[in-house]
Amino acid sequence: MRYDYPVIDCDVLVIGGGSAGAMAAIRAKEMDPGQRVVVFEKGEIKYSGCIARGMDALNIVAVPGISTPELYVESNGLACEGIMDEPVNYRMCERSWDLLKKLESWDVCFPLDEQGQHEVLQVHPKGRFCVTMKEPELKAILSERVLESGVRVLNRTMAVELLKNGGRVTGAIGMNVRTGEIIVCNAKAVILTAGGTARFGLPNNGYLYGVYDFPGNTGDGYCLAYKAGAELSGFEYTLIYYIIKDINAPLLYITLTRGANLLNAFGAHREKEHPSIKSMLLEHHEGRGPMRIIMSHLPERKIKEIEDILFTTERPVQERFFKGRDVDFRSGEIELWPTECFLCGGHGMTGVRVNEKAETAVPGLYAAGDTSLVARGHLSGAFVFGEISAESATEYAARTEAVELDRDQVSAFIMRRDSKLDQSGNPIPVEEFEYKVRRIINDYIVPPKNEYKLNNALWWMDRFRKELVELVRIGDVHDLFKAYEVENIIQCATMSATASKERKESRWGMWHFRHDYPDVNDREWMKHIVLSRGEALEDIKISHKEIIKM
Ligand SMILES: Cc1cc2nc3c(=O)[nH]c(=O)nc-3n(C[C@H](O)[C@H](O)[C@H](O)COP(=O)(O)OP(=O)(O)OC[C@H]3O[C@@H](n4cnc5c(N)ncnc54)[C@H](O)[C@@H]3O)c2cc1C
């Protein structure tokens, strides 16, 4: 039989070329320059992912003499309200200073004061861990290093299915999002770094892509891992941020740590009380929002400093946004609002369960960054666990034989893809369908939650799964890959409603607030809710796991 798709063999396949994936690929080549490392990236590695361009801080670094990994574990435990495994968080923080030094050796800019010290800010409940970074070229630096180290990067390639042999993951099927062509990668080890579910709830601005997190992240990593048999957790942690209205871009700590004032709708000052996103969101929902940032009292030098960071490093588009709205930091105010709801391991606590070696429950499968659960690890977690996953995958690949490709699995996928392409006569455009799915997520999964709403969410997601096949039009490749994305959003919503229904208490402020169980109940619920695949794909198994202490 003739097969008309290319097959590439490699030692380590990385799925997702964002922060964690780029770091994993670089580290895999450092570990063994001779091994073959491939990256599947849905977008273009030069700009894709949360970083896109640069970032203003490495949020978690234990700077010697200022803080320690032990204090970080304590501090993050408070922020996670106890639902946090200590060893992975300790491991991440323990390696954070070496990570910073490594980034500096790559010419990533962490500004130093006149005494040669880093700026270290407090944004956690306890201790100072947030080191200011000022590197508009961060993603370019990473992607160049990936390419220079000899990694083969396949841009515009969306991983659509993991290959399995027995219990082991042995590669992935990728699909070019522009041509629809299939490419198969036979790998000894696979690292999942496909981010979280940024396109989950619908943002107030009404744009499908106008979200806080990288809009190309549609929970693909979670769904690939789920289908392959991995364990997932934290899907009830439905995160909503509180940032610049409409553009949904960050600026809070950049301004507050430099002297800006935070006022609620009645003019009461809030900047002194270490305003967490959680507390601002509560204030907003209690009717004292929107909160506003005011900088008119600051000297010109400070305002320039803030503008310099905001308009160059993280989202330069902010400059145009504020100009377009006639907002000048010297006289105007910046209105803050809740973002859409999203799922994420880096800002939140949703992810594939991994141990200190970034191993999942499935042999050959590793996870890092927002796809994995190293609670609230942010960029530091993505980088450090990117490295750890590469070390573990390299070691596994070195002692493992490659297996022959299971052509039947690929053929079955191609048949399913082709039947999707037969949907060209269906009436509903995939964008409209995505809008509806995410509107229903807003109605029934976004907190405040209750059992009635969550049951409705599950009913709707079941129905959407069928409608995606029976009603949604797939006229070209663009529609096709969007349909795969929406399928994953639906699966993530199902997992989120399932876990939210299971956790019969309220925790993490608004993020998992249930009107029918309004109190925190540590006695019964100080544990993880773990999801895994049952016999059939739709059967989500629920189990409870103890919190792992050191
Ligand atoms: C706006 C914003 C500001 C932030 N600011 C900070 C900060 O200042 N400090 C800090 O410490 N942290 C910050 N964070 C958090 C931090 O950036 C993230 O936790 C981290 O970058 C996540 O890295 P990641 O590799 O997991 O995900 P990403 O960097 O998002 O990468 C995921 C990649 O996977 C690709 N992908 C998705 N699906 C597929 C698929 N099916 N096949 C192939 N590829 C796929 C995507 O295209 C993307 O490139 C910020 C996050 C955001 C969104």
Predicted TM-score of the model (pTM): 0.97
pLDDT of residue 434: 98
Q: pLDDT for 479-504, tens place per residue?
A: 999 999 999 999 999 999 999 999 99
Domain boundary assignment for the chain: 55-135, 240-340, 411-520
pLDDT higher than 80, residue 272: no
pLDDT of residue 124: 84
175 lines ligand 1 (CB under 6 A): no
One-letter amino acid of 416: R
pLDDT of residue 533: 97
Q: Topology of 240-340 in CATH?
A: Flavocytochrome C3; Chain A, domain 1 (3.90.700)
Class of domain 411-520: mainly alpha
250 lines ligand 1 (CB under 6 A): yes
How do strand 232-233 and strand 182-192 relate by DSSP bridges?
unpaired
What average pLDDT does the segment 427-450 reach?
98
pLDDT of residue 2: 57
Query: What is the number of the ligand 1 atom nearest to the C-alpha of 17?
Result: 49
127 lines ligand 1 (CB under 6 A): no
Q: pLDDT for 54-87, tens place per residue?
A: 888 999 999 999 999 999 999 999 999 999 999 9
Q: pLDDT for 362-405, tens place per residue?
A: 999 999 999 999 999 999 999 999 999 999 999 999 999 999 99
Query: CA–CA distance from 509 to each of 105, 198, 232 (Å)?
Result: 40, 20, 22
255 lines ligand 1 (CB under 6 A): no
* In contact, 219 and 343? CB cutoff 8 Å: yes
User: Which has the higher per-residue pLDDT, 389 or 125?
Assistant: 389
CA–CA separation, 368 and 353 (whole Å): 10
Query: What is the number of the ligand 1 atom nearest to the C-alpha of 59?
Result: 11
Q: What is the whole-number distance in angstroms between the Cα of residue 298 and the centre of ligand 1?
A: 32
283 lines ligand 1 (CB under 6 A): no
197 lines ligand 1 (CB under 6 A): no
From 135, 191, 277, 379, mutation site for ligand 1 pocket: most ligand atoms within 8 A of C-beta: 379
From 185, 213, 378, 491, mutation site for ligand 1 pocket: most ligand atoms within 8 A of C-beta: 378
User: Which has the higher per-residue pLDDT, 251 or 10?
Assistant: 10
359 lines ligand 1 (CB under 6 A): no
* In contact, 485 and 175? CB cutoff 8 Å: no
What is the distance, to the nearest Å, from the Cα of residue 75 to the centroid of all Cα atoms in its chain? 21
Q: pLDDT for 224-262, tens place per residue?
A: 999 999 999 999 999 999 999 999 988 888 898 889 999
What mean pLDDT, rounded, does the chain reach?
95
Under the banding of pLDDT at 50, 70 and 90, the label for residue 406 is very high
345 lines ligand 1 (CB under 6 A): no
Under the banding of pLDDT at 50, 70 and 90, the label for residue 125 is confident
pLDDT higher than 70, residue 184: yes
pLDDT higher than 60, residue 466: yes
Residues of the chain with pLDDT > 90, as a percent, come to: 89
